[in-house]
């Protein structure tokens, strides 16, 4: 049952589901990683993170053909898992499940059983741009599974106007967002963090406070959009790019089956996310 849960969880994300569908359609030849990335219109390194999750669930495998890495869907694995699920759920009589689509649909509308939300802190130096973008994005993408926070080692005390503008243009609420010191989260009574991500190289090189809860840490450095000079449209474009890079990372993060990964696998996957498109040299 554990393997079936991981298999289904790996498909519970739009890009991975579409990738698997296209690989099934391409059987038995399979598809090169680059061709699949272009078909899905996603960066190849982003696709690699998704394919790693599908591979870990046993749904895809890869073989080298010349200079290309060819991915194929393990259709037999998927078919046997679904058959096993029907066997379990229908008491050994899959025919009993026929015609119950409306009943299953009603059940799917029930709220999922959730555990304590995981606390995630994003850090940069000024806490005015990148970390604020990350906090707002995770608040919306993370649903009930995560609580997002951000802070800075030397906070500027205000959110960059273009960061606020870009967030609002993508439909994110600015309520509660503020530039603040990371000392707030090392103080007694502060929420214990499960994850702490540095999103700028300078913050990654500083001596961080001792965080309550001994969180998992990783570096997801991207270029500072506030450092870009020029006319406003050029500076705004830099913030849009930073937003896109950060959203790709957070989407990959929330898709991880964190409750089923060991510490080594989590560290590996978080490091891989940090190397997605737009990573700075320190990553």
Q: Known catalytic residues?
A: 124, 200, 208
Long-range CB pairs of 80-85, under 8 A, 24+ apart, other chains included: 81/3, 81/4, 81/7, 84/4, 85/4
DSSP-assigned states of every residue in the chain: -HHHHHHHHHTSSHHHHHHHHHHHHTTTT-EEHHHHHHHHT--HHHHHHHHHHHHHTTSEEEEEETTEEEEEE-HHHHHHHHHHHHHHHTTT-GGGGTT-HHHHHHHHTSPPP--SPEEEEEEESSSSSHHHHHHHHHHHHSTTTEEEEEEESS--SS--HHHHHHHHHTT---TT----BGGGGTSTTPPPPSEEEE-SHHHHHS-----TT--EEEE--B--GGG--SSHHHHHHHHHHHHHHHHHHHHHHHTS-GGG--HHHHHHHHHHHHTSTTB-TT-
Q: Is 148:249 a contact under the CB 8 Å cutoff?
A: no
């Amino acid at each position: 049952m554990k393997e079936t849960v991981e298999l289904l969880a790996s498909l519970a994300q739009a890009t991975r589901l579409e990738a698997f569908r296209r690989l099934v359609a391409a059987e038995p030849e399979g598809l090169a990683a680059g061709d699949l990335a272009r078909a899905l219109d996603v960066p190849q390194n982003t696709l690699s993170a998704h394919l790693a999750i599908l591979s870990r669930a046993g749904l895809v495998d890869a073989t080298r053909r010349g200079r290309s890495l060819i991915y194929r869907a393990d259709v037999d694995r998927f078919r046997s898992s679904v058959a096993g699920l029907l066997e379990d759920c229908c008491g050994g009589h899959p025919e009993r499940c026929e015609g119950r689509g409306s009943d299953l649909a009603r059940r799917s509308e029930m709220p999922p059983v959730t555990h304590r939300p995981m606390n995630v802190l994003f850090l940069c130096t000024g806490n005015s741009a990148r970390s604020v973008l990350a906090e707002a994005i995770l608040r919306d993408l993370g649903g009930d599974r995560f609580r997002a926070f951000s802070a800075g080692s030397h906070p500027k005390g205000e959110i960059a106007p273009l960061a606020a503008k870009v967030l609002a243009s993508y439909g994110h609420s600015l309520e509660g967002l503020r530039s603040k010191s990371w000392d707030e989260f090392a103080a007694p009574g502060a929420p214990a963090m499960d994850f702490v991500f540095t999103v700028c190289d300078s913050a990654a090189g500083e001596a961080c406070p001792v965080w309550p809860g001994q969180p998992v840490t990783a570096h997801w450095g991207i270029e500072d959009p506030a450092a870009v000079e020029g006319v406003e449209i050029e500076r705004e474009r830099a913030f849009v790019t930073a937003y896109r890079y950060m959203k790709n990372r957070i989407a990959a993060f929330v898709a991880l089956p964190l409750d089923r990964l060991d510490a080594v696998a989590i560290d590996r996957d978080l490091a891989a996310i940090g190397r997605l498109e737009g990573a700075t040299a320190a990553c």
